């Protein structure tokens, strides 16, 4: 069942086309069959009446007149009559068609004239009769021929060969052809309609997939059938609600973080009055830590929606600045590669992004940070590698989530609030770039920050 | 004794500030909103106003702009957000400096001292310049950018920026390490002697000034540093 399509488009198309093919085939068969039956009946009656007329004229004539009349009535190759043939003895059975024709003839002629059919079929196959005329078989139409024997009133046997046109073969092709054309037209139209139905569904699925990455993505176009359109607008409404919910949460978090700043300010002033210098210093450290946590949380909530303006920035200068800070914090920084002269970016945001990445390398990466910069016409890539234990490939996505720290301990001794990478990535994305993590071949973690190049 | 006017809507913080600044040798008047601030200003003169950004009624930015139009009293803005935009707007509204809550009390003292010294050196100059231009470089004080002749921003650390700002505010004047340290103070006491030398050498590299034969930031042996070029101030 591998051939069975999985997509809605394929399934709908298959159902419609298969259904149409079956119904069209049945229609053609029925039409053709019915047509043949009607033709047989019509021609049977027609030929029978002709034979009745001929028999009536010939039976009422003298033998001399008969020969003269037969010469007149014989229109080779369509009709040929002879009087000198013996009454044939049939040794093979008659076909259904022949039986029907015989009974039609007997009915028309009445009981006075015995009648039998010697042959009924394609013209030219009647052995011993008039030769086939090439015109019969030109392909334009096939003629049928009936060979009939009738015993006249005086016992004379009249043998008559009558041709009549068979149904036009080309007409049959025409019917089949037009039906195929109709089928194709309907299939194409169906394909188009189904595609129109399923395309908005695809757009909806894509939007749902990318919603996780970007809650601010433009709404899904409300197009297509009423059902799909209403699904799209329901999706848009959901996105709006999600955004509102998230914003409310963010605002609450921002509000708390923000409001905590006032008591911390007061505590700092109060701590100044503590006489014990050791206690005073300890409280100051705690307050600094609280301040830092609040600042990082606010940074995280603001990351990626900075109001800072983009400027042309000396990237080498920024890398040097951040490297110097890392070295002041005890790391060794090795810089390599060709740094492009400038980059269009938000300096404070990008500095935060680079600081977070390099700080991770410093903290978890064994103290040596390797920074390599390369660029193409469209992208600048800053690769920050460390010499630490790295992280399992399965975790490279999870570490970007806020408050996720792989060392499970929430202790700030190992450093960080678990927001650093989330902030860095939000910034990278606002700058039109991306951050990905890879394992280094020689061990350690590689953070790759790609940014659009200045053009 | 210098007279300070503190405008903040939080009563507890106001009192704490009053006590702390009082203990550090200032005469402090405390008010809770813009209305009371105007009344105090109408009554007596002050050397510095410490103004909270978020106030009930008229907010700090409006008061700051309004006051700048009428007097040249230095203003130190207190913001609760520490947001980049608030800082820039605050400086553009004519504040002399800003400090984000929660601030370190000692940094507040350092800022107050700096502002008071600056206003003493050049009294009545009104709004501080927002751009300092020298030797093809522009120091944008609002955006805190050092911009080269090609319009490219060269990133500086906060300390480096402050240091360069002080040097550019006093061109062709020798500034001692003590004076420069004072500018950078407010942080915990680190061996600043060394840090200032490190920052100066990084500044020289940024300004593409030859470290062995510097033309812009010159070392005056046993005295300090000097920015030896003309500086144009732009509002």
Residue of B nearest to A323 (CA): B157
Q: Give the model's pLDDT for residue A415.
A: 55
A424 within 8 A of A437, measured Cβ to Cβ:
no
Contacting residues for B67 by C-beta, under 8 A, at least 6 apart = B41, B49, B73, B75, B94
Residue of B nearest to A287 (CA): B102
Q: Cα dihedral sign for B71, B72, B76, B82? A: positive
For chains A and B, CB pairs below 8 A equal 83
d(CA B15, CA A265): 12
Q: Where is average pLDDT lowest: A22-36, A136-150, A437-451?
A: A136-150
Who among B17, B85, B155 is closest to A317 (CB)?
Answer: B155
Domain membership of residue B126 (yes or no) is no
pLDDT in tens, A277-331: 999 999 988 998 888 888 888 888 877 777 778 999 999 999 999 998 898 888 8
| In the predicted structure, residue A5 carries a pLDDT above the cut 50 | yes
Domain membership of residue B195 (yes or no) is yes
DSSP of A265-307, one letter per residue?
HHHHHHHTT-S-HHHHHHHHHHHHHHHHHHHHHHHHHHTT---
CB-based contact (8 Å) between B18 and chain A? no
Q: Kindly report the length of chain A.
A: 455
Highest mean pLDDT among A252-256, A382-386, B91-95: A382-386
Q: Give the model's pLDDT for residue A382.
A: 96
Domain membership of residue B38 (yes or no) is yes
- Structure-token pair, residue A106: 């007997």
What percent of chain A has a predicted confidence (pLDDT) above 90? 20
| In the predicted structure, residue B189 carries a pLDDT above the cut 60 | no
A182 within 8 A of A25, measured Cβ to Cβ:
no
Domain membership of residue B152 (yes or no) is yes
Estimate the crossing angle of helix B192-206 against helix B177-184, to 10 degrees.
90
Q: Give, in degrees to the nearest 5, the angle at Cα B223 between B221 and B226.
A: 90
User: Which residue, of A126, A155, A171, is where some domain finishes?
Assistant: A171
CB-based contact (8 Å) between A351 and chain B? yes
- Structure-token pair, residue A379: 């992208």
User: Which residue, of B101, B121, B141, is where some domain finishes?
Assistant: B121
Q: Give the model's pLDDT for residue A140.
A: 39
Domain membership of residue B98 (yes or no) is yes
DSSP state of B65: H
Instruction: Note whether A156 and A274 are same-domain residues.
Output: no
Confidence bin at A132 (pLDDT 50/70/90):
very low
Domain membership of residue B51 (yes or no) is yes
Q: Give the model's pLDDT for residue A131.
A: 41
Confidence bin at A130 (pLDDT 50/70/90):
very low
Domain membership of residue A154 (yes or no) is yes
* Chain-chain contact of B84 with A324 (C-beta, under 8 angstroms): no
CATH number, domain containing residue A268: 1.10.287.130
Contacts of B205 in chain A (CB under 8 A): 320
Instruction: Note whether A166 and A70 are same-domain residues.
Output: yes
Domain membership of residue A220 (yes or no) is no
Q: Give the model's pLDDT for residue B11.
A: 92
Confidence bin at B185 (pLDDT 50/70/90):
low
Domain hosting residue B167, numbered range: 131-234
CB-based contact (8 Å) between A188 and chain B? no
Backbone φ and ψ for A83, nearest 5 degrees, come out as -115, -5
User: Which residue, of A253, A285, A302, is where some domain finishes?
Assistant: A302
What percent of chain B has a predicted confidence (pLDDT) above 70? 88
Instruction: Note whether B57 and B153 are same-domain residues.
Output: no
Instruction: Note whether B156 and B200 are same-domain residues.
Output: yes
CATH number, domain containing residue B212: 1.10.10.10
Domain membership of residue A109 (yes or no) is yes
pLDDT in tens, A184-242: 888 888 888 888 878 888 888 888 888 876 777 888 888 877 888 888 899 999 999 98
Instruction: Note whether B63 and B31 are same-domain residues.
Output: yes
* Chain-chain contact of A269 with B84 (C-beta, under 8 angstroms): no
Residue of B nearest to A260 (CA): B102
Tell which A residues from 69 to 108 touch B, by Cβ distance under 8 Å.
Answer: none
pLDDT in tens, A396-422: 888 888 877 776 544 445 556 788 898
Instruction: Note whether B97 and B175 are same-domain residues.
Output: no
Domain membership of residue A56 (yes or no) is yes
B36 within 8 A of B6, measured Cβ to Cβ:
no
Number of structural domains (chain B) is 2
Q: Where is average pLDDT lowest: A87-101, A416-430, B9-23, B44-58?
A: A87-101
Q: Where are the alpha helices (DSSP H) in B24-154?
A: 34-43, 60-70, 84-92, 105-121
d(CA A189, CA A278): 85
A386 within 8 A of A371, measured Cβ to Cβ:
no
Burial A278-290 (b: 16+ CB within 10 A, else e): eeeeebbeebeeb
* Chain-chain contact of A262 with B157 (C-beta, under 8 angstroms): no
Residue carrying structure tokens 């200045």: A454
Contacts of B155 in chain A (CB under 8 A): 313-314, 317-318, 321, 347, 351
Contacting residues for A415 by C-beta, under 8 A, at least 6 apart = A359, A363
Instruction: Note whether B152 and B228 are same-domain residues.
Output: yes
CB-based contact (8 Å) between A444 and chain B? no
Strand duo B48-52 + B3-7: pairing: parallel
User: Which residue, of B121, B150, B177, is where some domain finishes?
Assistant: B121
Q: Give the model's pLDDT for residue A229.
A: 85
Instruction: Note whether B97 and B136 are same-domain residues.
Output: no
Element (H, E) at B79: strand B75-79
d(CA A355, CA A153): 124
d(CA A298, CA B102): 13
Domain membership of residue A176 (yes or no) is no
Who among B20, B83, B143 is closest to A272 (CB)?
Answer: B20
CATH number, domain containing residue B25: 3.40.50.2300
Confidence bin at A159 (pLDDT 50/70/90):
confident
CB-based contact (8 Å) between B157 and chain A? yes
Domain membership of residue A214 (yes or no) is no
Contacting residues for A177 by C-beta, under 8 A, at least 6 apart = none
Instruction: Note whether B51 and B152 are same-domain residues.
Output: no
d(CA A236, CA A200): 13
Number of structural domains (chain A) is 3
Domain hosting residue A48, numbered range: 8-171
d(CA B215, CA B113): 31
Domain membership of residue A281 (yes or no) is yes
d(CA A216, CA A163): 83
User: Which residue, of B121, B145, B171, is where some domain finishes?
Assistant: B121
What end-to-end distance do the CA atoms of chain A give, in Å? 53
Query: Which has more pLDDT, A43 or A383?
Result: A383
* Chain-chain contact of A314 with B156 (C-beta, under 8 angstroms): no
Instruction: Note whether A262 and A318 are same-domain residues.
Output: no
Instruction: Note whether B18 and B77 are same-domain residues.
Output: yes
Instruction: Note whether A163 and A250 are same-domain residues.
Output: no
Mean pLDDT of chain A: 82
Instruction: Note whether B140 and B116 are same-domain residues.
Output: no
The distance of B6 to chain A (nearest Cα, Å) reads: 15
């Amino acid at each position: 069942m591998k051939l069975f399509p999985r997509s809605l488009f394929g399934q709908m198309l298959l159902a419609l086309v298969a259904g149409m093919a079956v119904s069209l085939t049945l229609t053609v068969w029925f039409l053709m069959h019915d047509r043949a039956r009607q033709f047989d009946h019509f021609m049977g009656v027609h030929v029978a009446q002709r034979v009745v007329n001929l028999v009536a004229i010939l039976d009422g004539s003298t033998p001399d007149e008969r020969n003269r009349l037969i010469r007149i009535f014989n229109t080779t190759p369509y009709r040929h009559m002879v009087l000198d043939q013996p009454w044939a003895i049939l040794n093979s059975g008659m076909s259904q068609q022949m039986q029907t024709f015989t009974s039609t003839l007997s009915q028309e002629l009445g009981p006075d004239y015995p009648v039998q059919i010697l042959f009924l079929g394609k013209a030219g196959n009647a052995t011993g009769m008039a030769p086939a005329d090439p015109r019969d078989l030109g392909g334009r139409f096939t003629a049928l021929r009936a060979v009939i024997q009738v015993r006249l009133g005086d016992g004379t046997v009249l043998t008559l060969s009558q041709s009549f046109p068979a149904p036009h073969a080309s007409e049959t092709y025409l019917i089949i052809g037009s039906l195929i054309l109709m089928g194709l037209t309907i299939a194409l139209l169906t394909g188009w309609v189904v595609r129109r139905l399923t395309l908005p569904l695809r757009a909806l699925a894509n939007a749902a997939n990318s919603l996780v990455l970007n809650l601010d993505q433009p709404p899904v176009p409300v197009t297509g059938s009423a059902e799909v359109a209403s699904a799209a607008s329901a999706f848009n409404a959901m996105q709006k609600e999600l955004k509102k919910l998230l914003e409310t949460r963010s605002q609450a978090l921002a509000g708390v973080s923000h409001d905590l700043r006032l008591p911390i300010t007061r505590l700092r002033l109060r701590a100044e009055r503590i006489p014990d210098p050791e206690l005073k210093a300890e409280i100051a450290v705690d307050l600094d830590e609280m301040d830092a946590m609040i600042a990082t949380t606010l940074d995280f909530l603001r990351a990626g929606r900075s109001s800072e303006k983009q400027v042309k920035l000396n990237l080498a200068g920024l890398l040097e600045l951040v490297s110097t800070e890392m070295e002041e914090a005890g790391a060794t920084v090795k810089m390599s590669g060709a740094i492009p002269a400038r980059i269009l970016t938000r300096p404070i945001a990008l500095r935060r992004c680079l600081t977070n990445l390099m700080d991770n390398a410093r903290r978890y990466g064994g103290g040596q940070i390797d920074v390599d910069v390369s660029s193409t016409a469209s992208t600048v890539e800053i690769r920050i590698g460390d010499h630490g234990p790295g992280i399992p490939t399965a975790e490279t996505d999870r570490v970007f989530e806020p408050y996720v720290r792989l060392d499970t301990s929430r202790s700030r001794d190992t450093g960080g609030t678990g927001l650093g990478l989330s902030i860095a990535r939000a910034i990278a994305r606002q700058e039109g770039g991306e951050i990905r993590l890879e394992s280094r071949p020689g061990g350690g973690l590689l953070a790759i920050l790609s940014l659009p190049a200045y053009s | 004794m210098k007279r300070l006017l503190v405008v903040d809507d939080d009563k507890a913080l106001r009192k704490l500030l009053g006590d702390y600044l009082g203990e550090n040798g200032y005469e402090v008047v405390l008010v809770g909103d813009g209305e009371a601030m105007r009344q105090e200003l109408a009554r007596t003169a002050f050397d510095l106003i410490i103004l909270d950004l978020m106030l009930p009624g008229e907010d700090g930015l409006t008061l700051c702009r309004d006051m700048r139009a009428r007097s040249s009293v230095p203003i130190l803005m207190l913001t609760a957000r520490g947001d980049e935009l608030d800082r820039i707007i605050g400086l553009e509204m004519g504040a002399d400096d800003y400090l984000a809550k929660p601030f370190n009390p000692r940094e507040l003292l350092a800022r107050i001292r700096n502002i008071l010294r600056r206003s003493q050196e050049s009294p009545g100059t009104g709004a501080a310049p927002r751009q300092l231009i020298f030797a093809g470089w522009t120091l944008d004080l609002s955006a805190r950018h050092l911009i080269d002749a090609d319009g490219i921003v060269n990133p500086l650390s906060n300390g480096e920026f402050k240091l360069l700002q002080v040097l550019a505010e006093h061109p062709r004047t020798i500034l001692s390490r003590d004076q420069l340290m004072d500018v950078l103070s407010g942080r915990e006491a680190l061996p600043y002697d060394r840090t200032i030398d490190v920052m100066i050498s990084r500044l020289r590299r940024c300004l593409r000034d030859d470290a062995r034969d510097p033309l812009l930031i010159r070392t005056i042996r046993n005295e300090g540093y000097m920015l030896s070029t003309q500086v144009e101030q732009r509002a």
